[in-house]
Amino acid sequence: MPSEARNLRRIRCLNMSSEGNVTMKTVTYLEAMREAMDEELARDETVFLLGEDIGPQGGVFGSTRGLLEKYGPRRVRQTPISECAIIGAACGASLVGTRPVAEIMYFDFVAIGMDQIFSQVGKLRYMSNGQMTLPLVIRTQCGGGRGKGPQHSSSTEAWFVHSPGIKVAMPSTPGDVKGLLKTAIRDDAPVLFIENSFLYNTKGEVSEEECLIPFGQADVKREGTDVTIVATSAMVQLALVAAESLKELDISAEVIDPRTLVPLDMDTILRSVAKTNRAVIVHEAFTRCGVGAEIAARLMEEAYDDLDAPVARVGGLEVPMPFAQSLEEQVMPSVTKIVKQARAVCYR
C-alpha cells in the first residue's frame, strides 16, 4: 500500500481524472526535470533559464534539450563560462521581477559564485525587511559514482543548510524532481536545487496532470517497524536496496526521504523513530558536519526517550572523490555499509 505521505502528495495534484485518480506515466528523472522547466516556461513569461551550454547543446546532461528551439534565446540564455557571472546576473534579474533558473554544471563550481550566494542571494530579503524578493532557483548536480574525479563529484549541501535565507531541495525520484522543481520556480525565496547525475536515467512515476510538492514535506518511501533509515538524494535508492537485504535478516526498515533539507520535515522523522526506536542516517557527503549530524542532534534533543540505541550515520569518507571506480566504491556509502549500521543498532 502507498504510504500516507505518498497519498498526500498525489492529492495535491490540481487536476484529477474522471475516475477520481491521478493519471500517472513513467519517465526518467532527467525527462521529469525537463518537463518541469518546459511547463513553467510556458506558464509564466517571467521565467527564464541561464547557464553554460544550455542552448544548442541542451545542457551537458541534456536537461534543457529542445527548450531553446521552443522558447528562443531570450528565455534560454547561454552564458559565458563564469559561475559568479551566472549567479550574479540571476540574482539581479530576480530582484527586478523575473524568475531565473540558473544552471551550475557541477556542484563544485558553485564555490566560484559563493560570495554572490552567501552574501547577496541569502541575505537581501532579510536586509530589506522583506521588501525585496528573490524568486531564484540555482540548479546543480552533485555526487560521485561516475568517475568524474575530485573536482566534479562534491556533495557540499551542508554549506547551504548552514547559510540562512536559502531553501535547499534534494529530490531522489522523477516524481519528486518534477513536483519540487515547479514549486521552487514559483517560490519567492531563493532555492538551491541539488540533483544527482547518477539518478538522471532512473525511471519512476510522474503525474500526467499539474502536481506540486510542498517544501518541508518528507516522503516515506518504504514503511517498516524496526529501524528508520533517513536518506537523501541517490542514497535513497541504496537505502531501499538495503531495506530489502535487511528483510532477509528479519529486520523491517522504514526509509524516509526528507526531499528538502531547508525546510526540514523533522515531524515525519520523529514519528517514524517513535515507532521503530532506532535510526540510521545516510548521505553521500562526509559524515563529519554533514546534514546527518544535524538530524542526529535533533533526534537526541527531541526523541531521546524513544531511542533504544544511539543514532548511526553512514557517509562518505573524508577525502576528495577519487577518479578510479574501485576507489570511488571505497569512499562512497554502499548497501553493505547501510546494512551493517542498521544491524548494529538493531542488535545492540
For the chain, list the domains and their CATH numbers: 4-207 (3.40.50.970), 219-346 (3.40.50.920)
Q: What average pLDDT does range 294-299 have in this prediction?
A: 98
Q: What average pLDDT does range 91-111 have in this prediction?
A: 95
CA nearest 327: which of 138, 126, 115, 153? 153
Share of the chain above pLDDT 70, in %: 94
How many whole angstroms separate alpha carbon 77 and alpha carbon 79?
Answer: 6
CA nearest 114: which of 86, 149, 136? 86
For residue 11, pLDDT beyond 60 = no
Q: What average pLDDT does range 76-96 have in this prediction?
A: 96
pLDDT confidence of residue 147: 75
Question: With b meaning 16 or more CB within 10 Å and e meaning fewer, what string describes 176-192?
Answer: bbbbbbbbbbebebbbb
Per-residue model confidence as pLDDT tens digits over 258-271:
999 999 999 999 99
With both helix axes pointing from N to C terminus, report the angle between 291-302 and 266-276 in degrees, rounded to the nearest 10. Answer: 60
pLDDT confidence of residue 5: 37
The more confident residue out of 198 and 146 is 198
pLDDT confidence of residue 130: 87
For residue 145, pLDDT beyond 90 = no
**Worst-scoring range by mean pLDDT, 8-12, 84-88, 100-104, 141-145?**
8-12
Q: Which of 31, 35, 52, 152 is catalytic?
A: 152
Residue 77 phi/psi, 5-degree rounding, is -100, 115
How many whole angstroms separate alpha carbon 231 and alpha carbon 257?
Answer: 5
The SS3 of residue 237 is helix
152 pLDDT band (50/70/90 cuts)?
confident
DSSP tally for the chain: helices H, then strands E: 13, 14
The pTM of the whole model exceeds 0.85: yes
Average model confidence (pLDDT) across the chain? 92
Q: Which of 35, 83, 103, 223 is catalytic?
A: 83
**Worst-scoring range by mean pLDDT, 40-49, 137-146, 173-182, 291-300?**
137-146
162 among known catalytic residues: no
Per-residue model confidence as pLDDT tens digits over 204-235:
999 988 989 999 999 999 999 999 999 999 99
Do residues 174 and 197 lie in contact, with contact meaning Cβ atoms separated by under 8 Å? no
294 among known catalytic residues: no
Share of the chain above pLDDT 90, in %: 83
Per-residue model confidence as pLDDT tens digits over 304-342:
999 999 999 999 999 988 888 889 889 999 999 999 999
Do residues 266 and 300 lie in contact, with contact meaning Cβ atoms separated by under 8 Å? no
Instruction: List the strands of the sheet with 253-257, edge to edge.
Output: 219-222, 253-257, 227-231, 279-286, 312-316
181 pLDDT band (50/70/90 cuts)?
very high
pLDDT confidence of residue 6: 39
pLDDT confidence of residue 133: 92
Do residues 284 and 142 lie in contact, with contact meaning Cβ atoms separated by under 8 Å? yes
Residue written as grid cell 526523541: 303
10 pLDDT band (50/70/90 cuts)?
very low
At position 298, the amino acid (one-letter code) is R
